Amino acid sequence: MTRLIFLGPPGAGKGTQAKTLAQDCDLPHISTGDILRQAVKDQTPLGVKAQSYLDKGDLVPDQLIEDLIEERLGKPDAHSGWILDGFPRTVNQAVFLEQLLQKLHQQGGEKVINLDVPDDIVISRLLERGRRDDTEEVIRHRLDIYRSETAPLIHFYSDRNLLLSVNGNQSPEEVTADLKKIVVS
C-alpha cells in the first residue's frame, strides 16, 4: 500500500511530481492547493474563507484544511493508498494526520518525501507560472512561513524514520525517476 506525503517549499514541484506518480501508480493525488483553488473558484463557504488567507500568502487555518483532508481520505478510492501534496504543513497538522490515519485504519507504511530546492529557484519557478497570488513579495512571505512553520516537519518525520529527501533541483524526469525508486523500495 503506497501512502506518500510530499514536503518542500512552494514551487518545489510537489504538485507536478505527485500528479505524475499518482498516474503511474494508479493512486489518488490529494492536493490541498487544488481543493482550495476549486473551492475559491466555486465560491463555496470554505473558498470564501480561504480567499483572504491566500491573497496575503498566509496559511489557511488548520481546522479548515483538516476537515477537507478527513473528508477526502475517507473516500473509497483513498483506502488502498494516496499521495498527499500540501498537507501536512505544520507539526500540529502532522499530529492530526497520524490520529486520522489511525481512526481510518490507514496508518503504517507511509513515506514522507522532501523535495529540496534552493529559494532562488523556487522564486523563479513561481514567478514563471504567473498565478494571481504569485508576486515576488507574496512568494518571499510564503517562503518565510515555510521556513518557520513547515520546515519543522522535516525533523518531525525524520525522528519517526519516515523522511526521504530528493533533490528537486534537477529535471522533472530525473526527479520522477528518483521518486519511483523510493516507491518501489
Catalytically annotated residues:
14, 89, 129, 131, 142
Distance CA 151, CA 37 (A): 23
Residue showing cell 534537477: 170
Q: How far is CA 151 from the centre of its chain?
A: 12
Bridge partners, 133 (sequence order): none
Q: Crossing angle of helices 119-129/136-145, nearest 10°? A: 130
Per the DSSP assignment, residues forming a β-bridge with 167 are 116
